[in-house]
Copies of this chain bind each other. A is one copy, B any other.
Amino acid sequence: MRFVLVVGTTQTAQIPGISAAGGSPELLATTPSADAELLVYGEPVRSGIVPVSPSGCPTPAVVTRAVREILNFEVTVLDAGLSVPTGAPTVSVGASPGEDIRQVDPVPCAEDVFAEARHLGRSIPDEELVIGEAIPGGTTTALGVLTALGERESVSSSLAENPLSKKRNAVETGLETSNLEAGDAAESPGFAVEQMGDPMLAVASGLTVGALESGTEVTLAGGTQLLAAAALVRHAGVNDPLRVATTAFVANDETAAVEEIADDLNVDLAVTDPGFERGNHVAFERFLMGEAKEGVGMGGALWLAERAGVSMDTVRDRIVDVYARVVGDES
Interface residues of A (CB under 8 A from B): 40-43, 45-46, 72, 76-78, 85-92, 119-120, 123-126
Closest-by-CB residue of B relative to A126 is B41
Apart from A76-B89, A87-B91, A90-B91: 18 A-B pairs, beta carbons within 8 A: A40-B76, A41-B126, A42-B125, A43-B125, A45-B120, A45-B124, A46-B119, A46-B123, A72-B72, A78-B89, A85-B92, A86-B91, A87-B120, A87-B124, A88-B91, A89-B90, A89-B91, A90-B90
Chain B proximity of A15: nearest CB distance (Å):
30
Distance in Å: Cβ of A116 to nearest Cβ of chain B: 9
Closest chain-B Cβ to A262's Cβ sits at a distance in Å of 30
The prevalent SS among residues of A at the interface is: loop
Tell me the bound Cα distance from A300 to B306 in angstroms: 36
In the bound assembly, the distance between CA atoms of A119 and B42 in angstroms comes to 17
Chain B residue at smallest Cβ distance from A119: B46
A80 to chain B, nearest CB (A): 13
Measured in the bound complex, the distance between the Cα atoms of B41 and A89 in whole Å is: 14
27 A–B contacts from the bound complex (CB under 8 Å): A40-B76, A41-B124, A41-B125, A41-B126, A42-B125, A45-B120, A45-B123, A45-B124, A45-B125, A46-B119, A46-B120, A46-B123, A72-B72, A76-B89, A77-B89, A78-B89, A85-B92, A86-B91, A87-B91, A87-B123, A88-B89, A88-B91, A89-B89, A89-B90, A89-B91, A90-B90, A90-B91
